[in-house]
């Protein structure tokens, strides 16, 4: 099915629901595709990074001109305006959105290179991607450092990727929803309303994105020009853990290209320091979980989301934090190895838990893949093996669903979903 979703230059997450190229989807898809076709995996990342903006941001959607305008909302016309993007360096010749998604790309590039180093060297794959990946990380660590501590902030739930997580309910409540008559939700043409975000959430997504666009996509971070961080400005554990993981990967890429020792690289040191910052800013010892920090109130958001488990992928976490995170994953809030088959996106005991609605409870394959990777990294092999087996079962039984009920594994959302298929392939290798 990964062939069916291939457009010639990239892979769509879903033929009907998401008919363009999505940033973090493409990174996860490349990680799986490398086992089938290292060349296509390289092209996937090259296509995405060719749409990078002048300021270094990698847009969350690269639009496919062949797709009819009404097939997805918000399309290219929404993200474009007379002046929007000019200062931030929106690229010519390709239509993109103006927000970002989690930076999984350097990790993906490194894994894709390792799948066929000969092909990669012959095509100068890493050499061509390196400056783009470095600029992407620089953008996140400077223009997006709205909190001033070194972590990247997200300005929209779509940027963090877990769109309607209850973690966002507090910050989103400050946003006046856009007039529902002013736009049409194309997602409901293809998805059951009970599986998707509500209309009120959508109205808020649209309002926030339009505000950012109308301010020329300018950022509030250290080298940004927008002084007001906006209604939604959050430091998120998964987004930053993925940035740190990708910093380690970029250190490996640089060492490979320069023929130097990676262990002592400046970038690696920065990744370690950022891990300390992540713990200092987002670790909540009482809940034994990483939480999101709302930069408007400068307080941690008291909701338990799967985002708080993702820092398990970091090698330099303090051992006491790692041990506590594993206990939390196994405990009543996430049920790993016990009540649930797969790790849910949100606290099983939380008031907003809903086993079918998108990121308010269902289990997703990319987050479970990351949790399994983290468990393996920290030596929790039986737990990681069990999770891997459950993911393979659920992916197969649900026809590669976008997400599943964490208790039963019943499929929800789109089927034949790109990263579900790709990460299944990765688990099989």
* Residues identified as active-site: 163, 402
Does position 236 bind ligand DGY by CB under 6 A? Answer: no
Q: CA triplet 290, 292, 296: central angle to 5 degrees?
A: 150
Any contact of residue 137 with ligand DGY (CB under 6 A)? no
- Do you find a cis peptide bond into 332, omega within 30 degrees of 0? no
Residues 6+ apart with CB under 8 A from 153: 144, 145, 146, 147, 220, 221, 229, 233, 234, 235, 295
DSSP 8-state code for residue 168 = G
Instruction: Let me know the angle formed at the C-alpha of 207 by 176 and 307, rounded to the nearest 5 degrees.
Output: 90
Instruction: Report the C-alpha gap between 423 and 116 in whole angstroms.
Output: 18
Question: Could you tell me how far CA 347 lies from the centroid of its own chain?
Answer: 19
Start-to-end Cα distance in the chain: 17
> Of the two residues 158 and 232, which places its CB atom closer to ligand DGY in the complex?
158
Helix (H) or strand (E) holding 337: none
Chain residue whose CB lies nearest ligand DGY: 158
Cα–Cα distance, 252 to 110 (Å, whole number): 8
The smaller minimum CB distance to ligand DGY, of residues 163 and 254, is found at 163
Q: Which is nearer to ligand DGY, 79 or 353 (by Cβ)? A: 79
Quote the least distance from Cβ 274 to ligand DGY, whole Å. 26
Q: Is 403 a binder of ligand DGY (CB under 6 A)?
A: no
As beta bridge partners, residue 235 has 153, 293
| Residues 53-112 interacting with ligand DGY (rule: CB under 6 A) | 60
| Binding track over 180-209 against ligand DGY, x by CB under 6 A | -------x----------------------
Pairing of strands 61-62, 21-22: antiparallel
What DSSP assignment string belongs to 47-94? Answer: HHHTT--TTS---SEE--TTS-GGGSSS-HHHH--SSTTTTTTPPSSS
**Minimum distance, C-beta of residue 238 to ligand DGY, in the bound complex (Å):** 15
According to the binding rule CB under 6 A, does residue 163 interact with ligand DGY? yes
Q: How far apart, in whole angstroms, are the C-alpha atoms of residue 285 and residue 239?
A: 20
Closest distance to ligand DGY from the beta carbon of 163 (Å): 5
Closest-CA residue to 107 (of 45, 36, 37, 38): 45
Check binding of 158 to ligand DGY (CB under 6 A).
Answer: yes
Shorter beta-carbon distance to ligand DGY: residue 21 or 322: 21
Counting contacts by CB under 6 A, is residue 364 touching ligand DGY? no
Q: How near is the Cβ of 187 to ligand DGY at its closest, in Å? A: 6
Task: State which residue, 60 or 132, has the beta carbon closest to ligand DGY.
Answer: 60
* Cβ proximity to ligand DGY, 34 vs 196, nearer residue: 196
Minimal distance in Å, beta carbon 195 to ligand DGY? 11
> Minimum distance from CB of 165 to ligand DGY (Å)?
12
Chain residues binding ligand DGY by CB under 6 A are 60, 158, 163, 187
């Amino acid at each position: 099915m990964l062939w069916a979703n291939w457009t010639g230059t990239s892979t769509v997450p879903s033929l009907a629901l998401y008919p363009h190229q999505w940033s973090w989807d493409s990174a996860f898809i490349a990680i799986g595709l490398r086992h089938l076709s290292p060349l296509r995996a390289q092209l996937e990342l090259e296509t995405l990074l060719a749409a990078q903006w002048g300021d270094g941001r990698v847009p969350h959607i690269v639009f496919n001109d062949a797709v009819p305008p009404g097939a997805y909302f918000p399309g290219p016309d929404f993200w474009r305006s007379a002046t929007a993007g000019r200062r931030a360096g929106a690229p010519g010749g390709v239509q993109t959105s103006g927000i970002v998604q989690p930076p999984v790309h350097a990790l993906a590039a490194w894994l894709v290179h390792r799948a066929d180093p000969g092909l990669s060297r012959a095509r100068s794959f890493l050499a061509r991607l390196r400056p783009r990946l470095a600029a992407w990380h620089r953008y996140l660590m400077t223009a997006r450092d709205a909190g001033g501590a070194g972590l990247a902030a997200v300005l929209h739930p779509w940027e963090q990727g877990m769109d309607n997580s209850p973690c966002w309910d507090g910050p989103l409540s400050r946003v006046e929803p856009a007039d529902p008559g002013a736009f049409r939700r194309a997602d409901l043409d293809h998805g059951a309303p009970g599986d998707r975000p509500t209309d009120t959430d959508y109205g808020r997504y649209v309002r926030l994105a339009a505000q950012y666009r109308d301010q020329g996509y300018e950022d509030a971070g250290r080298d940004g020009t927008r002084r007001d961080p906006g209604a939604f400005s959050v430091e998120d554990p998964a987004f930053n853990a993925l940035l740190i993981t990708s910093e380690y990967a970029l250190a490996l890429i640089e060492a490979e290209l320069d023929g130097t020792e990676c262990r002592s690289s400046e970038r690696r040191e920065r990744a370690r320091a950022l891990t300390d910052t992540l713990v200092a800013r987002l670790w909540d010892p009482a809940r034994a979980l990483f939480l999101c920090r709302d930069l408007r109130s400068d307080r941690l958001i008291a909701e338990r989301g799967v985002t708080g488990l993702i820092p398990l992928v970091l090698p330099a976490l303090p051992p006491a934090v790692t041990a506590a995170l594993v206990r939390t994953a196994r405990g009543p809030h996430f049920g790993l190895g016990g009540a649930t088959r797969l790790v849910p996106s949100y606290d099983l005991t939380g008031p907003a838990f809903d086993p079918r609605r998108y990121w308010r409870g269902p289990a997703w394959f990319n987050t479970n893949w990351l949790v399994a990777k983290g468990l393996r990294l920290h030596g929790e092999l039986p737990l990681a093996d069990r999770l891997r087996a459950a993911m393979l079962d659920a992916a197969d039984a649900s026809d590669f669903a976008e997400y599943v009920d964490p208790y039963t594994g019943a499929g929800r959302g789109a089927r034949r979903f790109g990263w579900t298929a790709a990460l299944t392939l990765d688990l099989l290798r």
